[in-house]
């Protein structure tokens, strides 16, 4: 019996499965009418391209989730995760660039074959819903689709998989747990939160004093600016008071736990410390993906408005109005974006004790000290 060689000859065509790939376009206008609408080929290929890129995004996100969905995250994994999330970011940028290609088709071109598409809809893309769930979009915040649950159009097996991701392992929950385990919030006698509170109070007092002593603002303008400036009981109360944060979470206004939010804040404030640079870049990449996903949704909605106006979608949704609403509502890492509300000037940062800076840095030791 011959054993299979580890390395055997392979052809470009068979390796890429080009026979299957290039024969997977079946315009319904040609099948049902015998006269193919020219633009239907573009429509099919763009959406097939989306699905191929969705597969790659799932591949990357799943690998990052595997790194973080554990009690002990290897610090070396963070750099790999940043690199793979960067790839996801580039793919999302490419997906957004697909839209102008679609818009090269005029509304009249689209109407030549649109009636053959009912009741198919992009809403039925299982891979896209899987991406949303892998990132951590909660089920209770999803909009219904024509009155139906978002997973109603999938098989039982697919519904179970989507539910397992949404309620179990996803990037939001894994990152939250990772942040909660951050050991940088207290080093010996140094406690981050009390020091941060003092810095916030100094910053607000200095800015309030500048407003009060201004010689170009009248009293009404001063009062307005002081209200906008706020106090430690307004913008900063959610981080300075755990009870306030807990209430906001209960009301659905915040989602990230208090401890995780505190860790994300410290990482953001001290992001130039060597040990915090990669965690900071990792959080930035998550926000970039959230932002690009919203951009893609918005551009998709605008494309639909351009092509269909107020027409109902092929799947029965309200078309443009539904898509625009998902762009406004379906955010995942909003709490990370909102960390910017809590930032203070670099000049106001509490100075880290030498021992803390050493732990957050790369200390050089002479061979004789080893």
Q: How confident is the model at residue 230 (pLDDT cuts 50, 70, 90)?
A: low
Please state, for a pLDDT cut of 90, what percent of the chain lies above it. Answer: 54
Q: Is residue 214 part of a domain?
A: yes
Higher pLDDT, 249 or 191: 249
For 38-66, the pLDDT digits (tens) are 999 999 999 999 999 999 999 999 999 99
Q: Is residue 343 part of a domain?
A: yes
3-state helix, strand, coil in the chain (%, to 5): 65, 0, 35
Domain of 248 in residue numbering reads as 25-369
Please state, for a pLDDT cut of 70, what percent of the chain lies above it. Answer: 90
Q: How confident is the model at residue 78 (pLDDT cuts 50, 70, 90)?
A: very high
- Residue 366 confidence (pLDDT): 46
What values do phi and psi take at 306, rounded to 5?
-65, -40
Number of domains composing the chain: 1
First to last CA, the chain: 57
Whichever domain contains 274, its CATH number is 1.20.58.480
Q: How confident is the model at residue 361 (pLDDT cuts 50, 70, 90)?
A: confident
Q: Is residue 153 part of a domain?
A: yes
Average pLDDT over residues 211-228: 84
Higher pLDDT, 4 or 303: 303
Decide: helix, strand or coil at residue 327. Answer: helix
CA distance 22 to 14: 12
Please check the confidence at residue 153 and state whether its pLDDT lies above 60: yes
Q: Is residue 287 part of a domain?
A: yes
Higher pLDDT, 85 or 324: 85
- Residue 367 confidence (pLDDT): 47
Q: Is residue 261 part of a domain?
A: yes
CB neighbour burial string for 18-46, b if at least 16 within 10 angstroms, e if fewer: eeeeeeeeebbbeeeeeeebebbeebbee
Please check the confidence at residue 4 and state whether its pLDDT lies above 70: no
Longest dimension (CA), the chain: 95
Q: Is residue 186 part of a domain?
A: yes
Q: Is residue 7 part of a domain?
A: no
Q: Is residue 221 part of a domain?
A: yes
Q: How confident is the model at residue 363 (pLDDT cuts 50, 70, 90)?
A: low
- Residue 5 confidence (pLDDT): 67
For 264-277, the pLDDT digits (tens) are 999 999 999 999 99
Of 359, 220, 159, 360, nearest in space to 279 by CA: 360
The predicted model scores a pTM of 0.89
């Amino acid at each position: 019996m011959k054993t299979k060689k580890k390395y055997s000859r392979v052809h470009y065509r068979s390796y890429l499965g080009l026979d299957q790939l290039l024969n997977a376009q079946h315009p319904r206008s040609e099948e049902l009418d015998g006269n193919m609408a020219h633009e239907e080929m573009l429509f099919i290929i763009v959406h097939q391209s989306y699905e191929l890129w969705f597969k790659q995004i799932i591949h990357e996100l799943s690998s990052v989730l595997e790194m973080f969905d554990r009690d002990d995250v290897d610090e070396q994994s963070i750099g790999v995760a940043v690199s793979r999330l960067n790839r996801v970011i580039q793919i999302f940028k490419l997906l957004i660039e697909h839209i102008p290609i679609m818009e090269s088709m005029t509304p009249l071109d689209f109407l030549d074959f649109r009636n053959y598409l009912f009741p198919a809809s992009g809403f039925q893309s299982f891979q896209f819903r899987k991406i949303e769930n892998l990132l951590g979009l909660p089920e209770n915040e999803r909009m219904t689709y024509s009155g139906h649950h978002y997973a109603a159009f999938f098989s039982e097996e697919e519904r179970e998989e989507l539910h397992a991701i949404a309620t179990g392992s996803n990037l939001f929950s894994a990152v939250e747990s990772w942040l909660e385990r951050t050991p940088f919030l207290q080093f010996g006698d140094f406690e981050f939160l009390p020091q941060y509170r003092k810095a916030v109070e100094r910053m607000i007092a200095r800015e309030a004093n500048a407003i009060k002593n201004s010689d170009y603002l009248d009293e009404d303008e001063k009062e307005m600016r002081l209200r906008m400036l706020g106090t430690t009981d307004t913008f900063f109360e959610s981080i300075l008071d755990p009870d306030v944060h807990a209430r906001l979470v209960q009301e659905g206004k915040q989602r990230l736990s208090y401890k995780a939010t505190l860790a994300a804040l410290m990482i953001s404030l001290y992001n130039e410390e060597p040990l915090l640079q990669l965690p900071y870049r990792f959080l930035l990449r998550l926000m970039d993906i959230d932002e690009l996903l919203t951009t893609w949704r918005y551009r998709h909605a605008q494309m639909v408005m351009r092509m269909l106006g107020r027409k109902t979608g092929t799947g029965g949704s309200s078309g443009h109005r539904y898509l625009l609403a998902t762009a406004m509502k379906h955010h995942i890492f909003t709490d990370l974006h909102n960390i910017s509300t809590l930032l203070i000037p670099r000049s106001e940062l509490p100075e880290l004790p030498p021992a803390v800076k050493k732990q957050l840095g790369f200390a050089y030791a002479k061979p004789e000290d080893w």
